Structure 1
Amino acid sequence: LFDYVFDKGIFRPEFINRFDAVVVFKPLTKENLLDISELMLKSLAKHLKEKGIDFVITASLKEKIVELSYSPTFGAREMKRVIQDKVENVLAEALLSGALKRGDSAEIDSQFRLIRRQ
């Protein structure tokens, strides 16, 4: 890549010499995104566990999050917002209203509805 840019005269040599390396990024696959969603949801589950609530992570929830957040251009950046808007907000409302309490088990279905088990 350096040679191409240098040979074509796209940038001056002084500018090109400031770069140490070139990193080529490939678009994330669906499997990559499912893994990332699981990591993010496990982090949320850990925080809920500290409050005495078990959070069940389902494949359908992960798939729905990936479906809503997939962007070949931006990768997984949108995923954090989707999890906050669709999952964390539902759990926060349930905690604040008292619908979800210490000792409960919570699951969010693919329609982002809370399923609570005592």
Structure 2
Amino acid sequence: NTVIILTSNLGSDIILNDLEQRRAQGTNELSDEAKHQIDLLLRSKFRPEFLNRLDEIVYYKSLTKDEMRKIVDLQLADLRSRMDEGKHLNLDVTTAAKDYIIDSAYDSVYGARPIKRFIQSRVETLIAKAIIQGRYAEGSTLTVDYDGNALVLK
């Protein structure tokens, strides 16, 4: 057996508009109306013979904050590992800092993709500057926190 997954940006404007409204209502699921509009768009762009060969159409679902937190945790685990291997440094990231990363890095168009770049540019750069300045000795624990304005090291 083989599973083939096809993706398309068809209807992305419908999805973005609908999800913006739905998030305000506390959900990340597409409305039935948006799904209906996308179905109509699919039928207008693809021949019935092609659509009939598809077993299922899965609609986009935006990430929840918990899912975003898991992605941030995975990226930070990678950073922790590199810090431990290279400089034998430990990394602790507060909940406030993680929330700031999630709120700042998430993009409704690109989803979670910017998280890695955000962590590289904001967290890793902050840590690298502190290491270069000699603020932390081997075996130290660096704590990244959010002070209400920016990420800070403690």
Which residue of 27, 49, 67 maps to 2:62? 27
TM-score by length of 1: 0.77
**Aligned pair 1:114/2:149, yes or no?**
no
Q: Following the alignment from structure 1 to structure 2, what is the Cα–Cα distance between the partners of residues 44 and 62?
A: 14
- Aligned-residue Cα RMSD (Å) equals 2.7
The alignment of Structure 1 onto Structure 2 pairs a total of residues equal to: 113
Q: Following the alignment from structure 1 to structure 2, what is the Cα–Cα distance between the partners of residues 6 and 68?
A: 33
Once the two structures are superposed, what CA deviation does each residue of 1:52-73 show, in whole Å capped at 9, x if it has no partner?
Answer: 1111122111101001012222
Once the two structures are superposed, what CA deviation does each residue of 1:33-81 show, in whole Å capped at 9, x if it has no partner?
Answer: 1111111111111111112111112211110100101222221111112
Aligned to 2:79: 44
Instruction: Say if 1:7 and 1:81 are closer, same or farther in 2 by CA, change over 3 A.
Output: closer
What amino acid does structure 1 have at the position aligned with 2:76?
Answer: L
Aligned to 1:104: 140
Unpaired segments ≥5 residues, structure 2: 1-34
Instruction: Say if 1:21 and 1:101 are closer, same or farther in 2 by CA, change over 3 A.
Output: farther
Aligned to 1:80: 116
Unpaired segments ≥5 residues, structure 1: none
Q: Following the alignment from structure 1 to structure 2, what is the Cα–Cα distance between the partners of residues 42 and 16?
A: 42
Q: Following the alignment from structure 2 to structure 1, what is the Cα–Cα distance between the partners of residues 122 and 58?
A: 33
What amino acid does structure 1 have at the position aligned with 2:71?
Answer: I
Instruction: Say if 1:20 and 1:102 are closer, same or farther in 2 by CA, change over 3 A.
Output: farther
Q: Equivalent pairs: percent with the same residue?
A: 34
Tell whether the 8 Å contact from 1:108 to 1:114 is kept in structure 2 after alignment: yes
Aligned to 1:89: 125
Instruction: Say if 1:7 and 1:23 are closer, same or farther in 2 by CA, change over 3 A.
Output: closer
**Greater mean alpha carbon deviation, residues 31-40 or residues 4-13:** 4-13
Tell whether the 8 Å contact from 1:57 to 1:107 is kept in structure 2 after alignment: yes
TM-score by length of 2: 0.61
Tell whether the 8 Å contact from 1:37 to 1:66 is kept in structure 2 after alignment: yes
What amino acid does structure 1 have at the position aligned with 2:152?
Answer: R
